[in-house]
Amino acid sequence: MNATDVARLLAGEHRDPHAVLGAHDATGPDGPAVVVRAMHPDATAVECVLRDGTAVPLAPVEPGLFAGVIAGAALPLAYRLRFHFADGSTWERGDPYRFLPTVGQLDVHLFNEGTHRRLWEVMGAHPRTIDGESGTAFAVWAPTARRVSVVGDFNGWDGRIFPMRMIGSSGVFELFVPGVEPGALYKFEILTQDGALRLKTDPFAFAMEAPPATASRVVRQDTYVWQDAAWLEARARRDLAREPMLIYEVHLGSWARVPEEGDRPLTYREIAPRLVEHVKRLGFTHIELLPVMEHPFTGSWGYQVTGYYAPTARYGSPDDFRYFVDTCHAAGIGVILDWVPAHFPRDDYALRRFDGTALFEHEDPRLGEHPDWGTLIFNYGRNEVRNFLIANALYWTVAFHIDGLRVDAVASMLYLDYSRRPGEWLRNVHGGRENLEAIAFLQAMNDAVHAEAPGAITVAEESTAWPGVTKPTSEGGLGFSFKWNMGWMHDTLSYFAVDPIYRSHHQNTITFAMLYEYTERFIMPLSHDEVVHLKRSLLEKMPGDRWQKFANLRLLLAYQYTRPGKKLLFMGTELAPWNEWNHDVSLDWHLAAEPLHASFGFYVEQLGRLYREHPALWRRDYDPDGFRWIDVADAMNSVISYVRHDGDDHLVIVLNFTPVPREDYRIGVPAAGMYVQLFSSDDRRFGGSEVVTPTTIDTEPAAFHGYEQSVRLTLPPLGALVLTLRG
């Protein structure tokens, strides 16, 4: 036994406590033997209890350190330790220091080079049974730490009891602790290079305490029995670019609450059937959840993550969340998660300066601090950080069967000068403003998700004109499946906020997005960001009196549903609420009982049915031949018209953005025959007006708008018409 090792161990600074503790070969008076060493700072005596029940006393070597020779024994030796304390109590447990490493050399090699695609199967806390002892294997990355210990409710949160060993020079510390069962709470105590003690939650924790508590929780990962094999098999064969995609964006904590129980949010299991029934009725194909990863501040809506691998405990356990996903899949509904690899909060119990250094973030604030949100930016150039995030993307898509990740704040990742003034940022190695490490990370993440989770999609929330966001990485693109069209959302809402009397001066605002429509595969969102922070609800954004506000909102959705691109609506839009979204309360479900709001809900339902039932509205979203303007230039009347094509099938859409009915309004149409009014946003069932529009219209052989045939229509005020050619 090396005296230096003993001194370092007792001082709490040893990176390999197994070199001293546990069972080791020795020579006794009668030949080969095994020496067993154990440590507990408060023990007065220790016994080594062999498998046959024999108790061998261990003698004190130094205060808190005990050793004894087992004559005639050989390695490997199975035993337990019995500690005695001054108050007469005892503690018998398996010895963590008799076991071989639970993390393999190949695992740490792949992690250190940033390529371990199943990293969650290695890092974190994993219940298992080794040599007859049930317990938990812990592993954490803290390369500059002088010592790392696992602490928890199983050892009095005392960092002196279970110090961990580093695997070679990998920076990965591991320890198998017998007796630690699922449900146990734990953290890591880290002694930094400057001698400070830091108490940290596990970056790979698969569950955590419900906020404001912050401990990690041991859970099993193999207990849920999935029922969605058919869904996953079908998903792998699908091409969502050519399918209907109508997304319902949800904040789980405020969709509905239980007023009889302190207005608490619904749990994952409670909300699943109710939410699924609701979105199915409205015609949605997917649910997108604001981040469900554990986060301390409810007001961040999940966008400031402290537990990247842990579904928030606010609504239940990880298996409860799996049940939520499974329930959605059983009903044919896909699940997309918002995911935040751009930044993380400064909460000191989490990732910030994890081992006493800028481990996950950059040391230089010009690279590592986010000026907009007061958060820290991941160091994408570090292999292990990149692996932590890529494996996290795979964890949700593989271990939770998630169908897609919407990646938040991509624009902030791409540019080194994002929201920074001159002198506040550093150029890349080529002298440019592009964040080359972040670009490489996003490309690697997209490739990994598409390879490991067939059919799963990735979506970029990216608000700039960065080229090739949805182009394959093999062609130099970022590799996303879709991109949010932030420009469309901004321009469209800006246009609709204008009083109709002035809209003729803003016609280009509503049509501009078509100029770049086919540069990417877009999703058109009307998201949560547009109904918070005094931006007002969608209904309140609309100009005019009460009737005109509802008519404008119906027209807005008709435009969104009928133009190219996939669609996203924030929860509650179907209720047409007057108030902004408030994450602390339920949606205004009482509005569904009021006639005009009920009519609007029925409108959203029928609009969803129209969208789902007509492939011309989605099959060729990303093919320029799937869309053609009829008339984009009638600014005087504030009317636009266009055709959506699916081969020979087509729909004609006409939108009147003023409250003035347009009689005898002529437009060109692609074919001769009879056109049938398929849908009108002005239908009285939807709360529309008294203006009567013909349900069938015969074409006339009068050339107009570049077509040989034309029709004369009556356009309802603030209304949308959808026409189809009768076969």
Active site residue ranges:
408, 461
Tell which residue, 115, 111, 21, has the closest CA to residue 64. Answer: 21
E-assigned strand segments in 270-401: 286-289, 293-294, 307-311, 334-339
CA dihedral in degrees (298, 301, 303, 309; nearest 10)? Answer: 70
Q: Characterize the bridge pairing of strands 147-152 and 165-166.
A: unpaired
What's at 727, amino acid-wise?
G
Answer yes or no: are the C-beta atoms of 162 and 177 closer than 8 Å: yes
Q: What is the DSSP letter of 503?
A: G
What's at 198, amino acid-wise?
R
Please, what is the angle between helix 229-237 and helix 318-330, to 10°? 60
Determine which helix (DSSP H) or strand (DSSP E) holds 548, and give its type and residue range: helix 546-562
E-assigned strand segments in 384-475: 404-407, 457-460
The separation between CA 138 and the C-alpha centre of its own chain, rounded to angstroms, equals 25
Q: Which position has the token pair 């930094």?
A: 192
Answer yes or no: are the C-beta atoms of 549 and 583 closer than 8 Å: no
Answer yes or no: are the C-beta atoms of 581 and 532 closer than 8 Å: yes
**How many other C-beta atoms are found inside a 10 Å radius of the C-beta of residue 373?**
18
Answer yes or no: are the C-beta atoms of 561 and 617 closer than 8 Å: yes
What's at 343, amino acid-wise?
H
CA distance 43 to 40: 5
Answer yes or no: are the C-beta atoms of 487 and 493 closer than 8 Å: no
Answer yes or no: are the C-beta atoms of 315 and 267 closer than 8 Å: yes
CA distance 290 to 533: 17
Half-sphere exposure of 494 (CA within 13 A, CB side): 15
User: What are 720's two structure tokens?
Assistant: 């949308």
